[in-house]
Amino acid sequence: MVQKNNQPVASIPSRLLLPIKTFLESEIIKWKRTEKDIKKSDPFSDTNRLMQNSVEQDVDEQVGHFESEVKVSFVKKQLVQLRKALTMIKVGKYGICEKCGKMIDTDRLAVKPEVTICINCAVDRE
């Protein structure tokens, strides 16, 4: 593995990547299930909602729909990040920051195995 500045970078041994890959795949399944549940609970998913709604019910449905949309957006971001981490495993770059090319601290990966940027680049991005 070579860093962006052409210095060698250590890579994570493949025997350690299998449990991480399994975890990421199980998280994807969990988040997809969560997304499905959120969409089911969205008041707009009820086709009878337009029948004789009072103003209060309509407002409640609008608020509920907005909350569902925000939650689904968050879930989709999580799914993208998980898939990105899986891709990094597949291409042999898991644990290497996609911004600076340095190794991501193993403590950071232990807490959030789906991260693809190091803490320094994450702080710079915010």
Task: Please name each of the domains of the chain with its CATH number.
Answer: 14-125 (1.20.120.910)
pTM recorded for the entire structure? 0.80
Kindly give the confidence (pLDDT) of every residue in the chain, 126 residues in length, as a single tens digit, with 9 standing for 90 and above.
444 555 545 677 888 899 999 999 999 999 999 999 999 999 888 877 667 678 888 888 889 999 999 999 999 999 999 999 999 999 999 999 999 999 999 999 999 999 999 999 999 876
Tokens of 58: 């309509």
Residue 77, burial from CB neighbour count under 10 angstroms (0-12, 13-18, 19+): exposed
| Dist. CA 35–CA 52, nearest whole Å | 29
